[in-house]
Amino acid sequence: MSEREDRLAGEFPFIPRQERAQQKRNALLESGRILFVSKGYEHTTAKEIAAHAGVATGTFYRYFSDKRQLLMSLLEDKIDYFLAPEPYWFSNDPEAFLASLLETHANRLHRSGLYRVLPEVLSKDSYLYEVVQAARKGVHARILFGLKKIYEKGLTWKDLDLATVAWSIIVLVESGYEKEAQSGKRVNYQEIAKVICRMVFPPEVLAKLRECTE
């Protein structure tokens, strides 16, 4: 477990070693995830999580100090999952590649469902907020690095502040996830990819890149 993960969840009351105990802990984690997504974090109690998992409330507290620790356990090593993925620009069709990347990332978010819970928790948990912000800065740095690479190759606009472009990409992608969380309707990631690529590449560059695939 990394240092960040350890700080997120803290020290657990008990770490199961036997398979049966591990199964109970996993059942609590999955029940917590289901209830957090369906009811919201604030409206879910430890007692409800235990009942959903088919164990006594006391069993919950054997493995987790409280519902926050359970949620942090679900989020450990997954913070980057909720943020914008790093685009790969050196493609013959960066727009199609980016759309596919965003779709794959969105599908992973949907399988977990926790992206719906994160905004609620971030507004009340200052430490988690700081962790997420630090992760976003890391994503920004990686996207900026990629933009600088295509800038050096003469593939992007010359008059843009690349740091601002990198943040704009993050905001566009994350706004799509937030819209899905609020409306329950899938976002057209092909359109988001189109906007991002128009922002990054001059039209003639996109045309030349696509010619290479024909």
pLDDT at 187 over 50: yes
Q: What is residue 45's predicted lDDT score, i.e. its pLDDT? A: 97
Q: Identify whether residues 171 and 129 lie together within a single domain.
A: yes
Q: Identify whether residues 100 and 33 lie together within a single domain.
A: no
Q: Identify whether residues 122 and 16 lie together within a single domain.
A: no
Q: Identify whether residues 64 and 116 lie together within a single domain.
A: no
pLDDT at 2 over 50: no
Of 75, 107, 131, which closes a domain?
Answer: 75
Range of the domain at 33: 3-75
Of 50, 75, 100, which closes a domain?
Answer: 75
Please write down the long-range contacts of 34-42, taking CB distance under 8 Å and 24 or more positions apart.
Answer: 34/113, 36/71, 36/74, 36/114, 36/117, 37/113, 37/114, 37/116, 37/117, 40/117, 40/120, 41/67, 41/71, 41/117, 41/120, 41/121, 42/120
pTM, to two decimals: 0.83
Q: Identify whether residues 38 and 112 lie together within a single domain.
A: no
The pLDDT tens digits for 76-122 are: 878 888 889 999 998 889 999 999 999 999 888 888 888 889 888 99
Both tokens of 90, joined, read 């050196």
Q: Identify whether residues 164 and 100 lie together within a single domain.
A: yes
The pLDDT tens digits for 119-145 are: 889 988 999 999 999 999 999 999 999
Q: Identify whether residues 88 and 159 lie together within a single domain.
A: yes
| 178-191 average pLDDT score | 81
Q: In angstroms, what CA-CA distances link 75 with 20, 41, 68, 117, 211?
A: 23, 13, 10, 11, 43
Q: Identify whether residues 65 and 91 lie together within a single domain.
A: no
Give the alpha-carbon dihedral of 8, 13, 19, 20, to 10 degrees: -120
Q: Identify whether residues 11 and 60 lie together within a single domain.
A: yes
The pLDDT tens digits for 21-76 are: 999 999 999 999 999 999 999 999 999 999 999 999 999 999 999 999 999 999 98
Q: What is residue 119's predicted lDDT score, i.e. its pLDDT? A: 87
Q: Identify whether residues 142 and 47 lie together within a single domain.
A: no
Of 75, 103, 137, which closes a domain?
Answer: 75
Q: Identify whether residues 144 and 162 lie together within a single domain.
A: yes
Q: What is the CATH number of the domain that holds 11?
A: 1.10.10.60
pLDDT at 3 over 50: no
If one counts the domains in the chain, the total is: 2
Q: Identify whether residues 92 and 157 lie together within a single domain.
A: yes
pLDDT at 183 over 80: no
